């Protein structure tokens, strides 16, 4: 293959019928070749390479089989043009308080003369550019979440690629793969946004931008001004932590669940009854942190439960609440992230037979209970924390007196969760003798 013009070419063996290997070289003799690119497996067992070409250069392309594997070869060669926004001068313009680009790419992108060869100290090599002008003072968050390669993200000010001032940069965000930055922005300033790939990696770019405008803090920014929640089930929707702050001088913790915080708002809830409580920030539109405390001052709180991510970027905690206790609920954002808060609280009371002393009584040689539950159940002090060698902490109790001597069979067949089953003798939960115990019957989750 002779290179038709400077640029980039992609060669692959897609749909070939065996485990291919692919190499590209320059040179005029098989014994003195210089490798340009090579690949074993790209998609399943086929191969793909991409490389920069030079006008007039002849490239030797070798297709082989892994360990001498053979079969039908389907070879494809494509000239790949650089993206429209490869050069700084051709940056795609973004506008508004929120903006997104999906399905962009940095495949075949290059670095320009004078362009930094690294972002945040990490080697780059395939950059594309965007530009955004702040319409007001505020805080800007940009991320490449859901992009399909190892991205780099840089934000700069300046009007020429060779004389830029870096404002923010990031290699790996929370997922360890895509990138995220948060920065203060000034009204009227144009920010140059660069998306690149670690060591020149390329792929599909999904870019997201959101500005939070400066303004007064929320009414419940301070611990003392917490919003009061009431009842066993309650929700708040449409709250915000935009422009919220930490009361650092008063001793407010700077982390939640071990993650950096920075924009907290507060709620207060008094448990009407004892029970298991779940609080979550589901459907909030930012990366939340959630914590529950007891205590009367922000600088002397006792942690009850905390969460960073609970499936996605929202948070959830579950804990046992004591009747009449005041719980302090803090919603914050990872590294100061902010947005709309939707907060949900649900308390489930323990079943009537949660405690050993309140066991349901079974009688006769045959007995059955249907529709009971262990939702909201707890362990008592002294109660064994394992059954059949497995940890359990949501126990309920039954009591049966054998009417005759013989063998007894007890099971939880048709229950809808992974049960544990223990049988004991004894009159106190802390002094029981195990008679039998089981985790799972064969081929199902009942005991």
Nearest Cα neighbor of 54 from 10, 113, 2, 11 is: 2
Tokens of 439: 């985790």
How do 259-260 and 255-256 pair as beta strands? antiparallel
Task: Report yes or no on 326 lying in a domain.
Answer: yes
* pLDDT tens, position by position, 381-400: 999 999 999 998 899 999 99
User: What's the full length of the chain, in residues?
Assistant: 447
Evaluate if residue 446 carries a pLDDT over 90: no
Q: Is residue 413 part of a domain?
A: yes
Query: Is 330 part of a structural domain of the chain?
Result: yes
| Average pLDDT of the residues in 315-319 | 96
Q: Is residue 181 part of a domain?
A: yes
pLDDT score for 76: 95
- Among 348, 364, 386, the domain boundary falls at 348
pLDDT value at 347 more than 70: yes
- Contact between 14 and 76 under an 8 Å Cβ cutoff? The reply is yes
Residue 274: count of CB within 10 angstroms of its CB:
18
**Same domain membership, residue 365 and residue 302:** no
Choose one of 213, 238, 271: the last residue of a domain.
213
Which tokens go with 247?
């009361």
Q: Could you tell me if 151 and 233 lie in one domain?
A: no
Give 222's contacts (C-beta < 8 A, 6+ positions apart). Answer: 247, 266, 298
Rg of the Cα atoms in the chain = 31
What are the φ/ψ torsions at residue 32 (nearest 5 degrees)?
-140, 50
CA distance 278 to 308: 15
pTM of the full structure:
0.69
Rounded Cα distance between 106 and 80, Å, is: 11
Q: Which of 412, 306, 420, 431 is nearest to 369 (CA)?
A: 412
Any domain includes 23: yes
pLDDT exceeds cutoff 50 at 273: yes
**How many helices (H) and strands (E) are present in the chain, helices listed first?**
0, 34
Residues 30 and 52 in one domain: yes
CA 115 – CA 126 distance, rounded (Å): 11
Q: Which residue has the higher pLDDT, 172 or 32?
A: 32
Looking at the structure, tell me whether residues 205 and 103 fall in a common domain: yes
In a domain, 218, yes or no: no
* C-beta of residue 233 within 8 angstroms of C-beta of residue 347: yes
pLDDT at 5: 56
Let me know if 403 is exposed, middle or buried by CB neighbors in 10 A (0-12, 13-18, 19+): exposed
Q: What is the largest CA-CA distance in the chain?
A: 98
Pair 306, 393 in one domain:
no
Say which residues have a Cβ less than 8 Å from residue 243's Cβ, sequence separation at least 6: 212, 214, 215, 216, 217, 218, 221, 263, 338
Report the distance separating Cα 324 and Cα 374, nearest Å: 23
Mean pLDDT of the chain: 93
Output 89 or 446, whichever has higher pLDDT: 89
Residue 15 lies in a domain: yes
Please check whether residues 295 and 282 belong to one and the same domain. Answer: yes
Q: Is residue 170 part of a domain?
A: yes
Do 101 and 70 reside in the same domain of the chain? no
pLDDT of amino acid 443: 46
* 4/71: higher pLDDT: 71
Same domain, 355 and 330: no
Q: Give the pLDDT score at 287.
A: 92
Query: pLDDT, tens digit, for every residue of 203-220?
Result: 999 999 999 888 899 999
Q: What is the pLDDT of residues 348-384, one digit of tens each?
A: 989 999 999 999 999 999 999 999 999 989 899 999 9
Continuous segment of H or E residues that includes residue 205: strand 204-213
Q: What is the pLDDT of residue 390?
A: 94
- When pLDDT is cut at 50, 70 and 90, the band that residue 75 belongs to is very high
pLDDT of 414 reads 94
Q: What percent of the chain clears pLDDT 70, i.e. is strictly above it? A: 97
Q: Helix, strand or coil for residue 356?
A: helix
| Residue whose C-alpha is closest to residue 92's, from 132, 149, 122 | 132
> Does 307 lie in the same domain as 195?
no
Looking at the structure, tell me whether residues 333 and 425 fall in a common domain: no
Are residues 343 and 301 located together in one domain of the fold? yes
Provide mean pLDDT across the span 242-256: 93
One-character DSSP codes across 58-112 = B-EEEEEEGGG-------EEEEEPPPTT-SGGGPEEE-SSEEEEEEEE-TT--PP
pLDDT band at 4 (very low <50, low <70, confident <90, very high): low
pLDDT band at 1 (very low <50, low <70, confident <90, very high): low
User: In CATH, what number is assigned to the domain containing residue 185?
Assistant: 2.60.120.1050
Residue 275: beta bridge partners? 321
301 shares its domain with 360: no
Residue where one domain finishes, among candidates 193, 213, 233: 213
Provide the residue range defining the domain that includes 287: 223-348
288: part of which helix (H) or strand (E)? Answer: strand 288-294
> How many separate domains does the chain show?
4
Q: Is the pLDDT confidence value at 202 over 70?
A: yes
């Amino acid at each position: 293959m002779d290179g038709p013009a400077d640029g980039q070419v992609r060669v692959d063996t897609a749909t070939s019928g065996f485990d291919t290997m692919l190499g590209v070289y320059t040179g005029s003799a098989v014994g003195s070749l210089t490798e340009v690119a090579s690949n074993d497996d790209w998609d399943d067992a086929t191969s793909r390479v991409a490389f920069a070409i030079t006008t007039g250069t002849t490239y030797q392309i070798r297709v082989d089989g892994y360990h001498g594997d053979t079969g039908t070869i389907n070879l494809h060669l494509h000239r790949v043009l650089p993206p429209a926004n490869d050069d700084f001068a051709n940056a795609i313009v973004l506008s508004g308080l929120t903006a997104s680009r999906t399905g962009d790419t940095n495949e075949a992108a290059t670095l320009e003369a004078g362009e930094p060869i690294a972002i945040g100290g990490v080697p780059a090599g395939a950059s594309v550019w965007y530009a955004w002008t702040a319409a007001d003072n505020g805080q800007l968050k940009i991320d490449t979440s859901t992009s399909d390669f190892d991205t780099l993200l840089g934000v700069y000010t300046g009007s020429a690629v060779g004389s830029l001032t870096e404002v923010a940069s990031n290699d790996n965000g929370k997922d360890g793969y895509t990138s995220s930055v948060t920065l203060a922005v000034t009204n009227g300033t144009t920010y140059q946004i660069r998306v690149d790939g670690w060591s020149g990696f390329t792929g599909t770019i999904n870019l997201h931008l959101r500005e939070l405008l400066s303004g007064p803090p929320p009414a419940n920014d301070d611990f003392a001004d917490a919003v009061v929640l009431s009842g066993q089930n309650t929700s708040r929707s449409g709250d915000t932590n935009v422009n919220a702050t930490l009361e650092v001088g008063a001793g407010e913790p700077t982390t939640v669940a071990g993650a950096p915080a920075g924009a907290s708002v507060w709620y207060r809830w008094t448990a009407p009854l004892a029970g298991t409580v779940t609080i979550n920030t589901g459907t909030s539109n930012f990366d939340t942190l959630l914590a529950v405390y007891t205590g009367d001052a922000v600088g002397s709180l006792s942690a009850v439960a905390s969460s960073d991510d609970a499936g996605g970027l929202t948070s959830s905690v579950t804990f046992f609440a004591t009747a009449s206790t005041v719980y302090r609920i803090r919603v914050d954002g990872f590294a100061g992230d902010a947005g709309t808060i939707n907060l949900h609280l649900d308390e489930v009371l323990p079943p009537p037979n949660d405690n050993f002393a309140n066991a349901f009584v079974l009688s006769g040689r045959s007995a059955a209970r249907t529709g009971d539950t262990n939702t909201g159940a707890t362990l008592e002090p002294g109660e064994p924390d394992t059954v059949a060698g497995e940890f359990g902490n949501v126990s309920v109790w039954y009591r049966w007196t054998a009417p005759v001597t013989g063998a007894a069979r007890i099971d939880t067949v048709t229950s809808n969760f992974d049960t544990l089953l223990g049988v004991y003798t004894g009159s106190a939960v802390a002094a029981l003798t195990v008679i039998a115990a089981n985790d799972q019957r064969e081929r199902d989750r009942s005991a």
